[in-house]
Amino acid sequence: MTFRDPDDNPNQNGRGSLEQLVRWRRDVRRFRADAVPDELIDRLLRLADLAPSVGNSQPWRIVNVRSPETRAAIVKNFETARERSAGGYAGDQSDLYNRLKLSGFDAAPIHLAVFCDRNALQGHGLGRQTMPETLDHSCACMVTVLWLAAREAGLGLGWVSIIDPAEVSKALDAPPEWKLVGYLLLGWPEEEHLDPELERFGWQPRTPFETRYWDTGSAPSRADAEVTQQADNSLGSVILVGAGPGDPELITLKALKALQTADAVLFDDLVAKPILDFVRPGARMIDVGKRGYRQSCKQPDINAMMVSLAREGLRVVRLKSGDPLIFGRAGEEIEACQDAGIPLSVVPGVTSAQGAAASLKVSLTNRDHARRLQFITAHDRRGHLPQDIDWSAVADGAATTIIYMPKRTLAELTEVALVHGLDPKTPTIAVANATRPDERVFISTIGAIAAELEAAHPDGPVLVMVGEALRYATVRDAAEQAEAIVAALDAIPGRQ
């Protein structure tokens, strides 16, 4: 999930959520060197300045570190502190510590030093007589608001803590009553992830929420330490669920049960919105849609989020359009859960091909004309026509071929298939938004379908069905449909 400028930000289209902002994390350490406009930084700092503070004290003091010489001194400070901290680890933990990237000094264009003014007069000392440390807490609130505002704008924020505060104060000639709270790095992220880098590289996973929350009188005693440790290691589960092609009445009872018992649901863009209404109220809803040919959530991020949520002890549903096992990249998600030791199950769904055929009352097989049904995808991981398609199988007149995701490559695919012997008059039906209220149907031949779709430019997911079985699509309650197919193909088939 990568945002390069505010225009690409999904929150402006109502797709974002506070939870997504929080999950996009603050610990960005890999920045592009592109400049950040001064007016954007000014806007973010003014937003952060609205943060709550004890007694309305506003104790934060922010220094924009622009001097290259000062920055170099602080980087040297970090390197010294990092080497000193490395001595606290041994074995594999030490090796991992030394491999981790723990700052982004090398590329981050914005450096901010945040101090807490311990002698702040603002607020008349309210709340500080009993808990003077709340001044520090107030500054942390401000940093949190800045972090969320930065993420919403597409910026990454890294909070450097491996640093000697006294040396930073000295380098910036800060007043003695100012206490360093954090050294912040801001910039456009080189890459974005839905899980923290420390967790992604195996430093330590997150633990369940329940291990940090209790009702009055229920907090664990020292004698409960063993039980708490067991709870720390408890795992949730992941269910890959097929949402079907779009019609909410086509989801299975097992899928409905999974949605109504889920703690978190990671759903794709293509999942019909009415199906999301089945999700249990209070469950976390996270849009992880992979938007074709546009900036979108990356598969490794989705894998990591599933694992992370399950490690929190949650019942996680990974909701996919159609059937998750058919061109849904389920294999990668299954592998990620298995590698992490996360319990996993799969709930199949009605495929888009099945939904489209049922909606059209078209049989995909015919004992006289199509004894084989094959599904192919029209693009590879680069978005190009796959090079390993069995073209002799596609040209086989005794097969029905369903082409998934064909929008960008259909013209090339049909051209190659015709060269390999596929009859250009082979009946072909394209369906956009199958089974949904805005479903569109294009009845044609394989030789003409690409041009017709290009001219119509339908929105939403499209699949193309090819084969002689489509010519024999009549049933008693679908006479009008049959006449349309016959007219489009200019042929009157014999009836069995």
What residues are annotated to the active site? 268, 290, 405
Phi, psi of 395 (to 5 degrees): -80, -5
Question: What is the Cα–Cα distance from 199 to 423, expressed in whole angstroms?
Answer: 54
Q: How far is CA 467 from CA 179, 369, 391, 439, in A?
A: 74, 9, 14, 21
Phi-psi map region of 293: left, alpha, beta (phi>0 left; psi -120 to 50 alpha): left
Q: Does residue 420 contact residue 395 with C-beta atoms inside 8 Å?
A: yes
For 148-193, the DSSP string reads HHHHHTT-EEEEE-SS-HHHHHHHTT--TTEEEEEEEEEE-BSS--
Q: Does residue 135 contact residue 127 with C-beta atoms inside 8 Å?
A: no
Question: What is the Cα–Cα distance from 188 to 411, expressed in whole angstroms?
Answer: 38
Radius of gyration of the chain (CA): 29
Beta strand 237-242 pairing with 427-432: unpaired
Q: How far is CA 213 from CA 27, 134, 208, 219, 315, in A?
A: 24, 21, 10, 8, 18
Structure tokens at 350: 């009605």
Beta strand 156-160 pairing with 178-187: antiparallel
For the beta sheet containing 440-445, the strands, ordered from the edge strand earlier in sequence to the opposite edge, are 372-377, 399-404, 462-466, 427-432, 440-445
DSSP H stretches of helix in 328-437: 330-340, 352-360, 391-394, 410-419
Q: Please give the torsion angle defined by the CA atoms of residues 274, 279, 285 and 290, in that order, rounded to the nearest 10 degrees.
A: -50
Question: What is the Cα–Cα distance from 144 to 138, expressed in whole angstroms?
Answer: 10
Q: Does residue 319 contact residue 271 with C-beta atoms inside 8 Å?
A: yes
Q: Does residue 467 contact residue 396 with C-beta atoms inside 8 Å?
A: no
Which residues have CB under 8 Å from 25's CB, separation 6+?
193, 194, 195, 196
Phi-psi map region of 414: left, alpha, beta (phi>0 left; psi -120 to 50 alpha): alpha
Q: Does residue 465 contact residue 428 with C-beta atoms inside 8 Å?
A: yes
**Length of the chain (residues):** 496
Which residues have CB under 8 Å from 84's CB, separation 6+?
none
